[in-house]
Every structure is written in structure tokens, then in C-alpha cells.
Homo-oligomer: A and B are copies of this chain.
Amino acid sequence: MKDHHSSALFTDLYELTMAAAYFENHYAADASFELFVRSLPKERGFLLAAGLEQALEYLENLQFCEEEIEYLRGQPVFRNVSGAFFQHLAELRFNGNVWAMPEGTPVFGEEPLLRVTAPIIQAQIVETSLLSTLAFQTMIASKAARVVMAAEGRNVVEFGSRRAHGPQAGMLAARAAYVGGCGGTSNVEAGHRFGVPIFGTMAHSFVMAYEREEEAFREFQRLFLDASVLLVDTYDTLAAIDKIIRNDLRPPAVRLDSGDLLSLSKRVRQKLDQAGLNDTRIFASGDLDEFTIADLLARGAKIDGFGVGTALATSKDAPALGGVYKLVDVQSQRGILYRAKFSEEKATHPGPKQVFRFSGSDGVYAQDVIARANEDHADAIALLRPVMRGGKRIEPAVRIQDIQLRAREELAKLPLGCRRLREPEPYRVSFSQQLQELSATVRQQVLNGA
């Protein structure tokens, strides 16, 4: 099964017009680009890197098929471009080098998540896909980490596929949510493709398909035994609990999906306990997010697990990260030219970078320094690692369970302030002296030269 994200045609047209211009001008330098998020969205104290596995799969499989080349040839914009360019595209494979932060690494604004060094045409064409792949999963993993923190150890299941931005987005969101700490997803394809644990209950339609609610409950319970979760809000939540008790169904769990979850959960817990169903857990869903979950638990809701849909699968309060992919150097015959952009609001820093993370004496991360790639800071962790050389992966894919574990361990080392759900304290990120000096030098060159 060929994935959409392996098609080289998933790119912005300007990547290809620029490629044509480089080709026709015999501009054949290697170039380095860095991918980063300019600043954290509102109420986010950290991001959690995710999506690298899909980004590397994309780069490994990058290719235009013949039919795609024909389509491009037929576009009026290319009418002045030589046949040799299309031949070049037909033969194009990604053979560059990539450095990246491992998935599950906490990351902050301005910090490169990934650096590509490759012939400039290749490095340029992959921009659109790398951005949409890495920024999306990073956004969802970050949201998931917040929701999981709010649930204070209770299981959180990602339920949002139906509200995701199309089927693939639903599947990738399920993966990223697991990286961020969710116990699993309702999305079966994500289970199959990525090894994410899958969870499910029942829908209102199942209850409605039977003439009597208890009939639906009994049939489901009989078949699924200890995996049965009975949905109790189709008609009247408390009446449904009474039917469960009266019919001695003893389900492992019930799900509340509407109404006042705080008071309903307390009354349901009380009814269940009074009937000796102390082991029946209460699972809640319905327009939940990290704020409603934190609020419910703070007010004593009797809820043992949460299904979170729309807010998680779309990162609803911050549905886009300002991810960018910026040229930082060009390696021409005349040597390395460091590059940066100096327009008013959108300035960047030149040259390949490394992110150094420093811990305090308590083992808690204290600050990051964005530095030149060749700097040495022996007392810090260098977050960017080589992941691809000459277009080949350096190491095999990491198991998703290990990514989740890494994320949990790394998040636990962040200062508490930056993990707050509301008004988090900014984590300290600065630029190294050497990088600032390079910026100043390049800025001066550009102002003189350009």
C-alpha cells in the first residue's frame, strides 16, 4: 500500500518552480534547511516532538512516478523549462543527511526539530511534506501530554478519528496521542499500522437498535465479558444504571457521554457501590479536554478513565503550529555561505545548529541553548542526532512503546512551571554567543551585499 505521504508530488508548486530555476541555472550546491516552530501556542509550556518515523519513511520513498512527471510537463508554468529537468525529477531520490530530535523529546520555540542537508533541489522539494508531517504529530502529541497530565494517572483513550481532518489525519493523530501518553485509541487502523493499543465501547445506535435498553446491554455483555463497556446515556443515565443492577449484568465498566458528568458520576458510583458493583469502573466522554478533565477531578468526579475526541485529534484550541523550514547554509564551490532572513517579524538565525539542554543539580532541565552545530557543551545533552546519511536511515525505527516511555521520562524532567495547564512559565531558551556573532556577521554581509 503506497501512502500519500510518499508521493514527491505532495509539495507546493513553488518548490518545483524553484527547482527548475536551480536546474536551468546549473545551481547545484548542497544546502541545509532547519525545521522549527517559531513560538509556542497560547497555554502551551512545551511541545513534544513526534512524527519523525513518518518523515523518514517519506524521505526513503521519495519519488515521482511517470504519470506525475507527465502531469508536470503539461503545466503551462513549465513551458520554458527543458526536458532535462523532468528527466532529473524522474530520477530524483533523496540522498541527503538528516539530523533530528528523537520522537518524544520536549521541544520549545525556535529549536530545530530536524535539519536536512542535501542537493538544494531535493532539500527544497521535501519542505511541504516534512512540515505537515512533523508539525501535525508534534502538535497532537503535545496536546495529548497535557490531557494525560490532567487525568492524573487515569487512562485516556483517543476517540477523535471521526472529527479529524480526514482519515489519514485521524490515524496519525492516534499515533501521536499515544506518543503523548494516551493509553490507546479507538482507531483500528492506527492499531494495526502503528501498534497502538485499541479500545472501544458501544454507540448509542447499538442501544437504539434493540427495543429495550437492557436487551442491548445483555447481548453485548454476554459476548465481550470483561471487555464490555456499557453506554448508559442513550435515554436516561440513572435509569440505565438501575436496569444494569436489576438485571445483574455486572459490566466491567459503564460509559457516561452526556449530561453533568460531575454529578452523574457521583450518583452512578453511589448506585453501583450500593449494589455491590464496586469493581465496575466509570468511563467518561463527550467534549472533554485537559481543562474540563482537570476541573472534573478537582471537584471530586468519580471517573476512572476518559475518552477524548475532537479536542485531542484536532488540538482544537491550537489547531496549527507555526512550523517553518528555513535555509541556513549553501555549500557552493566557493565555500559555505551562511544564510538567514532578516525581514521584520520573521528573522531567522544562520548556519546549522544544535540544541543543548542543561540540567540543574536536581536533575530537572534548567535551560536550552541553541548553538552552532559544532559547538561543544560537555555538561549538556545535544538533542539533535544524525538519523539519515546519504538517504539511508542510520538506525531502525523505534518501537512506539519505547517512544511513549521516552516521552514520559523526558516530560517528568521538565520544570513543573512549564508543565502547568494554564499560564505555564516559559522554559528558558537562549542563543549561544557564537551563534549570535554569526548572525551579526551574516546580517552585515547581507545588508552590504544584497
A residues with CB within 8 A of B? 1-5, 7, 9-18, 20-22, 24-25, 27, 29, 31, 33, 68, 71-72, 75-77, 80-81, 120, 124, 127-129, 131-133, 135-137, 159, 161-173, 186-189, 191-192, 198-206, 208-209, 211-213, 219-220, 223-225, 227, 233-237, 257-259, 310, 314-316, 319-323, 325-327, 330, 337, 339-346, 446-447, 449-450
Contact = CB atoms under 8 A, between A and B. Distances in A.
A77 B200 contact: yes
7 contacts: A9-B188, A77-B198, A132-B161, A164-B165, A167-B168, A168-B168, A213-B450
B320 A310 contact: yes
A118 to B, nearest CB: 13
Contact of A343 (B1, B76, B164, B235): B235
A304 B29 CA distance: 35
Contacts of A128: 161-162, 170, 187
Contacts of A323: 162-163
B199 A162 contact: no
B192 A68 contact: yes
Contact of A169 (B163, B165, B199, B235): B165
B7 A189 contact: yes
A32 to B, nearest CB: 11
A337 B225 contact: no
Contacts of A5: 166-168
A381 to B, nearest CB: 29
A320 B327 contact: no
A9 B188 CA distance: 6
Given A16-B200, A27-B209, A161-B128, A450 B235 contact: yes
A14 B327 contact: no
Nearest to A339: B208
A259 B343 contact: yes
A438 to B, nearest CB: 15
Nearest to A319: B319
A35 B146 CA distance: 31
Given A77-B227, A319-B314, A206 B21 contact: yes
A366 to B, nearest CB: 32
A205 B164 contact: no
Contacts of A339: 205, 208-209
- For A17, A129, A227, A344, which residue has the most chain B Cβ atoms within 10 angstroms? A17
A168 B200 CA distance: 25
Contacts of A327: 204-205, 208-209
Nearest to A450: B213
Nearest to A20: B223
Contact of A166 (B169, B212, B235, B257): B169
Contact of A446 (B3, B137, B172, B235): B235
A136 B124 contact: no
Nearest to A348: B204
Please name the 4 residue pairs, one residue from A and one from B, whose CB atoms are nearest each other, closest first.
Answer: A13-B200, A168-B168, A319-B319, A14-B200
B224 A191 contact: no
Nearest to A160: B320
A132 B27 CA distance: 43
Contacts of A330: 208-209
A33 B204 CA distance: 12
A171 B10 contact: yes
Contacts of A204: 326-327, 341, 343
A341 B77 contact: no
Nearest to A139: B165
Given A21-B220, A209-B29, A219-B21, A170 B10 contact: yes
A173 B167 contact: no
Contacts of A192: 9, 68, 71
B189 A227 contact: no
A3 B166 CA distance: 12
A246 to B, nearest CB: 13
Q: Which of A13, A187, A233, A322: most chain B CB closer than 10 A?
A: A13
B211 A449 contact: yes
Contacts of A199: 13
Contacts of A166: 5, 132-133, 136-137, 165-166, 168-169, 172
